[in-house]
Structure 1
Amino acid sequence: MSTEYGFPAIGEIAKELFSCAGFLPTKNDSLGLIRTETEKKSIQTRLRRLAQESSELRKNLDQLMELFKDLTRATTGSERVANAVHESIVDALEQYRDLVRNQISHLGKHETLRFLLLTSIPDRVILSYQKNALIFNVAATGYQFPNEPTWWLPSFSDDGVQWPLSKALNWIYETIETSQTRFHFPDHGLRENYRLKQNYENAWRWTSNLKFPSLTALLSNLDESLEAMRETTHDIHQRDVGPTLRSSFRTVLAIARFSTAAFRKIEKAYGKDVLFEVSETLRKQDRRLRRNHLWFAKRLKQKLIANNVRTPQAIDNAWSQKTQEFWRNRSGNLLAGAQQLAHLQQADALPSEKIPRFRIYIRLLGIHAAHSSIVNDAHARDIYPPETFLHALQVGSELKNRAQGLSQIEELENAVKSNGDDALSWIVEWAKATHFYRAERYSEAAAHFKNAFDLGKYSAGAHQYKLVNQYIEICAKNRNFEEFKKGIAWAKYLGFSTRLLRDQEETEENLKAVYDQLQIVVYPIL
């Protein structure tokens, strides 16, 4: 089986989001919004097509993200939470697109994801959720959450891993001051009730890490248990949980189930050491960024009181506007600091000692970004491409522009194979494609452009801009309108500009006009 190189496709990420959230529809397992088998199959089909990149990409992704928001709202009972989650995902995906557009990967997909988990993903998760929780003023929900700020992360001890779902359930029992048994089956030992007994046994398995629930099973168990405690005639076990606290419990359980599912996948794929490192990075970065946000939130609250801002709409507007303003200023400062740091690095003016060096990073970037930069640099050094890869990339980039014959390209191809640099197969195919293009042998060029495009997607970095545009052009020259449209759609999906179309809408009329022009135009420099 051949290795897939580069970054995971955006559609694969979307499918994992639905899976970890428990939103992937299965038979007889609905959250209420997905009511029919037809709807369930439609969602499964859309997720599959998105992962395979076989249909309307951006439109399909946007629709799925809106559905994710709807399901989040239905689960948590909060528009604020749903918006904060949705915007956090959208923000993270845009950052991911930028990474894919600019960074070449010489690693297999499995190892590329490992690198991202140890570097950029933790910082993006922390920044996105903290920032959007402020923008949408999630605190105004009145929801309760566990006191420990990083309750949603695994905890580690000599006894093993305590997953977030177990912590969330135990927090719920503590919050209403009852035991696990009496929470799920308040009349246990006093009367028989198969359903409530089953709920208690399932919850025990979940907290003991013997079984992992679907989201529907988890929330149904919660609702039935709360109802049982309300209806019991035994005062000592009776609890009447109000709607806000009930929604708090649902939200905490949904978050805990998502994070537990995600971290279990990380452990299965990469082992406990990587799980621990990712978790600790998230824990420390959450604490570092939280300090900045606590200071910002405290000052904003003081200003709202001083300015007598009282209406809910005005308060929400202030949180949204001031948080975004805070991060625009912060981003400007980070950019300026990064430029100064780059200048010092180029001049070899940074101290060699670790602590003085780190202090300069903190002064220029702040502690959160400083830690991120240092960790990312350390991991990047560990996976730096071999010299053979860098040399082959340089040679291939030159050959695709001016190869004198196929023999030169075949020599590169043999070197790539013998050195184990198969991640560069796309540059070899691209060089062959441009060789036939210059000879105006467009039908022969098309097959190699197709191979180069498929191999270079999510791994060729900034080269993907020219590659996808040349693939689009060769599709037009070979009168393959369907593949032409797919190339356009993928470019827009990743945020690449396309020749002639640029920022115009992808209407049939505009696409046809570009299609006709590209059949005629010839670019002497590729």
Structure 2
Amino acid sequence: MIIDTCFATQGELAKLAYDAFGVLPRKEASHDDIDETQKKAIQKQLARLAKEEGGLLSNLEQVIQTISSILEAYLPNIQVMNAVGDPFNDLLDAYSRLVREEGTYLSKVETIRYFISTQAIPLLVVSLNQSLLKHRLADLTLDMPEEKFWFLPTVAEDGSRVLPLEKVMRWVYVRCDLSQTQFHYPGKNPRSDNNMLQQNLDNAIKWARGVRLPALPALFKNFEESFSTLAQTGREISKGLQASIFVALMVARVSSYLAREITEVYDPQYLADVCRQFREYALWIADDVNEFKAELTPVMNQHTSPESASFVWHNACSQYWAFFDSKLTAVAATVQRLTDARPGEPIRDDVLTAFKSRYGLFAVCSYQDLARRQSAFLPPHGFAELLNQGFSLKKDVGTQLEHIDEYASRVAAYGLDEQLCWMLPWLRGVYYYRKGEFKAAMPHFKAAFENAKYRAGKNQYTLVNQYVELAAKNGDRRSFKKGIEWAQYLDIKVRWLRDDEPTEKKLNYVYYMLRIARYDHQM
């Protein structure tokens, strides 16, 4: 049975990153050293990772390292590379943490929407601002489009959209003071005959119209050939502007891909909402960023040594963002106290105004907005009640198979077989565990373990530990190692191993301890 109620796997998220950057199609010569054979190997690795086959943690680390290496060849320097990489890593960490800590009762599509609206957008706004400051991209004086949110699509009321790639391409033509035709095919006239430049122009027209999205190698090659041809005709574009254009093109390519995906999976209205949310959060956080810059500028002016200035800057960044996080925590705690004191009553406007003055717009407004957004993802009827009933049955040493069967009937009656697909086999596994029938318990724990992946939130910790224990008690080393590998993939701690390296010697020790230990009290 295919169960749609789940988070996307981490491998699917990694594949999305490759697709968004568009680095794998290889028809054109590329900046990197990836050939067709390596491309196919990466694609196979991504496919296996998405399906969670093979070495999970090592494969994930490899695909992240590979895309980092590829992007390094396209970006002008390490500052830009780090500024791009840090938010991506933050998103991956946040997603992994969400999967570990929060279960889901939503379909995969709706669970992804939940992640985008309640986690990804606020995190991306904060992380991008942190990254831009930390790596001092302002010092590079990159030439970017004047539109404040040029990297976001513009969505009209009728659902039509202008993708960021089109915005950037139009900006390039204006910035270089050339028409689209003369940029991609310099000197074109009725008698000219250059197949390469004509093909470049034809492709650029399609890309700018949003007909199709180019792979990154094709996009860069097209513009590089234009710059080269323009230089030959006496219209040389400065290296600094070229570098800026390539950065803008890459950002626009990623954003355009994600915009198309959101529209296809959801609808234009949700894309518009995502963009609106990003813009609002970005405007709210501007005061915090400006406050940091205002306080640090006079301090930085006192340091003439680049090394000293760099140390002071990075230290100040760390301290400021720790202070920023403390404001978010303080707002959440204060609002919770007020809500508990006056349940059901809204917080007075004058109180909110005072909060904004003390903690800043972002801390207060984002908290309110996220609370509103989270309330839209309500559990299905009966879910909370049946979830609690399941835990009560699991905890009760007197639970018998007939009680579990009755519970299964109630779950089916509410139509919650998918949402609680991990609970029923878990209950049966615990029943046999308590009886000391470990062989009978194993298939139930295996089903519970598999079904709980990307669904059961914090309960995955208990389940994976019990699965590993039962595997050891049944002499099933393959399942034992499989459970440990998946736990480490999600950064879930395993008894007796914890943070230690899973060497063969250590695994043998864990295997031995779990064979002889009993954890009835933790069932």
- Could you say whether these structures have the same fold, taking a TM-score greater than 0.5 normalized by the shorter chain as the test? yes
SS at 1:8's partner residue?
A: coil
Offset at residue 406 of structure 1 (A): 0.9
8 Å Cα contact 1:338/1:365 also seen in 2: no
Structure 2 counterpart of 1:259, which letter?
Answer: S
Offset at residue 430 of structure 1 (A): 0.8
SS at 1:119's partner residue?
A: helix
Paired positions, count = 518
Is residue 301 of structure 1 aligned with residue 297 of structure 2? Answer: yes
Compared CA separation, residues 356 and 317, structure 1 to 2 (3 A): same
Is residue 479 of structure 1 aligned with residue 478 of structure 2? Answer: no
- Residue matched to 1:242: 238
The 2-side partners of 1:263 and 1:354 are apart by 37
- Of 306, 312, 316, the match for 1:318: 312
Structure 2 counterpart of 1:173, which letter?
Answer: Y
Is residue 435 of structure 1 aligned with residue 431 of structure 2? Answer: yes
- Residue matched to 1:235: none
Offset at residue 349 of structure 1 (A): 6.7
State the Cα deviation string for residues 249-285 of structure 1 (Å, max 9, x = none). 1111011000000110000000011011011101111
Relative to the length of structure 1, the TM-score reads: 0.93
8 Å Cα contact 1:104/1:462 also seen in 2: yes
Is residue 407 of structure 1 aligned with residue 381 of structure 2? Answer: no
- Of 395, 398, 406, the match for 2:392: 398
Offset at residue 358 of structure 1 (A): 4.5
8 Å Cα contact 1:416/1:425 also seen in 2: no
The 1-side partners of 2:481 and 2:351 are apart by 51
State the Cα deviation string for residues 95-115 of structure 1 (Å, max 9, x = none). 222222221211111111122
Offset at residue 357 of structure 1 (A): 6.4
- Residue matched to 2:373: 379
Offset at residue 49 of structure 1 (A): 2.4
- Residue matched to 2:213: 212
1:414-425 aligned at under 5 Å gives the runs 414-421=409-416, 422-425=418-421
Structure 1 counterpart of 2:400, which letter?
Answer: G
1:445-484 aligned at under 5 Å gives the runs 445-484=441-480
The 2-side partners of 1:350 and 1:5 are apart by 31
Offset at residue 66 of structure 1 (A): 2.1
The 1-side partners of 2:235 and 2:139 are apart by 25
RMSD after superposition: 2.0
- Residue matched to 1:101: 100
Offset at residue 376 of structure 1 (A): 2.2
- Residue matched to 2:361: 367
Compared CA separation, residues 510 and 391, structure 1 to 2 (3 A): same
Offset at residue 16 of structure 1 (A): 0.2
Is residue 287 of structure 1 aligned with residue 288 of structure 2? Answer: no
State the Cα deviation string for residues 122-180 of structure 1 (Å, max 9, x = none). 11111111111211112233321112231100113367211000001111111111111
SS at 1:423's partner residue?
A: coil
State the Cα deviation string for residues 265-320 of structure 1 (Å, max 9, x = none). 00000001101101110111112213321331243233111x13342x44333332
Is residue 336 of structure 1 aligned with residue 330 of structure 2? Answer: yes
8 Å Cα contact 1:69/1:85 also seen in 2: no
Structure 2 counterpart of 1:104, which letter?
Answer: G
Relative to the length of structure 2, the TM-score reads: 0.94
Compared CA separation, residues 357 and 378, structure 1 to 2 (3 A): farther
Is residue 264 of structure 1 aligned with residue 263 of structure 2? Answer: no
- Residue matched to 2:74: 75
State the Cα deviation string for residues 448-490 of structure 1 (Å, max 9, x = none). 1111111111221111111111111111112222221221122
Compared CA separation, residues 287 and 15, structure 1 to 2 (3 A): same
State the Cα deviation string for residues 30-60 of structure 1 (Å, max 9, x = none). 6342433332232222212221222332332
Deviates more, 1:313-322 or 1:382-391: 313-322
- Residue matched to 2:491: 495
- Residue matched to 1:16: 16
Identity %: 31
- Residue matched to 1:41: 40
Structure 1 counterpart of 2:17, which letter?
Answer: L
Deviates more, 1:184-193 or 1:341-350: 341-350
SS at 1:425's partner residue?
A: coil
The 2-side partners of 1:15 and 1:379 are apart by 27
Gaps of 5+ in 1: 233-237
The 1-side partners of 2:358 and 2:51 are apart by 42
The 2-side partners of 1:37 and 1:205 are apart by 26
8 Å Cα contact 1:31/1:216 also seen in 2: yes
8 Å Cα contact 1:184/1:225 also seen in 2: yes
Offset at residue 197 of structure 1 (A): 1.2
The 2-side partners of 1:366 and 1:418 are apart by 48
Structure 2 counterpart of 1:323, which letter?
Answer: C
Compared CA separation, residues 204 and 94, structure 1 to 2 (3 A): same
The 2-side partners of 1:320 and 1:144 are apart by 24
Compared CA separation, residues 112 and 139, structure 1 to 2 (3 A): same
The 1-side partners of 2:510 and 2:323 are apart by 40
SS at 1:502's partner residue?
A: coil
Offset at residue 203 of structure 1 (A): 0.8
8 Å Cα contact 2:339/2:345 also seen in 1: no
The 2-side partners of 1:473 and 1:26 are apart by 44
The 1-side partners of 2:94 and 2:500 are apart by 23
Gaps of 5+ in 2: none
Deviates more, 1:389-398 or 1:37-46: 37-46
1:184-199 aligned at under 5 Å gives the runs 184-189=184-189, 191-199=192-200
Offset at residue 67 of structure 1 (A): 2.0
